[in-house]
Amino acid sequence: MPRKHDIVWRSPTGDVIACIEKNKVMQENLAEIRQVCRDALEDAVLMGCDEQQFRAVLVELVASLESSFPPQD
């Protein structure tokens, strides 16, 4: 995930999401997710859990997420 520049968000058809407010919300969401994940990682390591296992669990968690909205065309 790029950190030095903003991500260019795209629609399912590849069009750039140009709305400033939508991009702002997406960047704020990523910052919140990053902080929650960092806090959980630190907790896991402090409690003696394997860092790589924790990272793998996060990857699996994200891969298993399903949207409650139908796909947009």
CA-based end-to-end distance of the chain: 25
Asked whether the beta carbons of 71 and 64 are under 8 A apart, the reply is no
Alpha-carbon Rg for the chain, nearest whole angstrom, is 15
- The pLDDT tens digits of the residues spanning 10-27 come to 999 999 999 999 999 999
Residue 72's pLDDT is what? 77
Distance CA(27)–CA(23), nearest Å, equals 6
- The pLDDT tens digits of the residues spanning 35-47 come to 999 999 999 999 9
